[in-house]
Structure 1
Amino acid sequence: MVKALKTFIRDTPLLREMALRVRALTYSIANSSPGLYTLCYHHVLPEQQKSFARQLDYLSELGDFVTADRAADLVKSGATLDRRYFLVSFDDGYLDNLSVALPVLKASSTPAILFLVSDWIDAPPKANRYGASYMDRSAVAAWQSAGLDVGSHSATHRNLRHLSETEVTDELGRSRRDLEAMTGVAIRHFACPWGVANVDFDPARDITLARRAGYRTFYTTRRGVALGPDDLMLMPRHVLEPNWGLYQVDALMGGRARDAR
């Protein structure tokens, strides 16, 4: 009954908006625990650029932005217990990440990682949510030239849970090899398409295969904070929209105020 009610609220825009505003009265990033918070974006449309910048500015006051490699180092060592850290990530490789998001990242000196679907770079899919374009090789090179990182989002963006072990091995390994050949850098980080355990990937199988393929981290889409080495191959991420208000970010990522109990 409770689960059904939560689902109804989540899927009803007006009720969801009201619930988030109420939750933001007592929850905020300022009250959240130390640890690594990874942000997951997809599109950043031109009309969303200012609100995207506002989100990054807000978070910069509450913690430090780090690269994916630095994030992995912090999580492995347990140093995330000392303060808040934020990692910005983008999935799929939409061209607006370069044209709209990159100027914001450069202006604020914010590091970020772009998780690319390797087969889409030379042969992008025709259908997508906004009819937007994907990055080609020159766009990826421009992203790298700005000092930003690249990771794998698989070779074809298929649901790993539905694939055989051989097929998953190919998705992980081929993507890493092709991206390394194209970018000239080591590809150490993997973000699972959709990223829900036991729905989009098999934790018991695919984590092992990702390690064998040479990945240092395996990012999911479960909300939460990464604290120690056990999180490296099941890294939580907060899926955000760049046009969300700060109260929405607080409500979904924040901690509860101690005096609000």
Structure 2
Amino acid sequence: MLGIIVGIMKAILSVINGEPYSVITDDAPATIVAACSECRNTTDLRPCFHCGKPLCADCRTKHCESQKKEVDKSITSLMTTTNELIVLAQALNTSRSGRIQEYKTIKEQVSTHVKDLVKKLHDDEQVLQKKLDATIQAENEKIAVTERERQYLEKNKAALDQVMEKYRNETNQMILIKMHKDYLDSAPVWKDRLHAHANRISIKKEEELHFHPIPLGTNDGLVGKLTASKNVNVNAPSNDSHLPSLKNPTGSRSCIIL
């Protein structure tokens, strides 16, 4: 592509500098007397650089006028396209410069978002840690209470063992009947106390905490992500409908943060 552009520029510069025309004078190329290849009149003829045939002055003038219209049309078209490309190039760079400023703002937004995210993570951590600390403290207190309950039950068990041992070893029936009656009279009290212990030691009141970490995405970043959009408005000229390939250059991108 660069070689083609260089070749075109050299050709244009040679035309501007007049290099191809230095051999053309009033006497060269030389005239000949013959029938004109176009109008067939016999007169002085010179070669026409348009068709390459020997023509008279009038026919060469017609060819020159025809070529002039074609050249004017071509130059006008090229100039129009060139101007549109210049405007579009300026609009693209202006748009890019604006996006650069937007990206700098986005960089600040990313940093701020990360700080907010870190603070939120820290706050969430503190909530969880405090709840866990409170739960640990409550569990320790429950352990102490339940340990006291267990010790009291051990004493009750020892007392029951003594009662059982005593009436099992008693041989006097009268005493044994009295012992049985005394026990049966006091048994409801023992039962009520045991029921109270059972309510305090009941497994139904037990709870346990489970930690469920929120899984990190495998594709998306924790902070956010940048997405590219081709819908970039660079304020291109409204009359560039004949340049569809240039209206939305593929090289332009806009970035947004989610």
Normalising by the smaller structure, the TM-score range is under 0.3
Greater RCO (CA < 8 Å, at least 6 residues apart): 1
Question: Which structure has the larger Rg?
Answer: 2
Question: Would you tell me which structure has more helix in proportion to its own residues?
Answer: 2
Question: Would you tell me which structure has more strand in proportion to its own residues?
Answer: 1
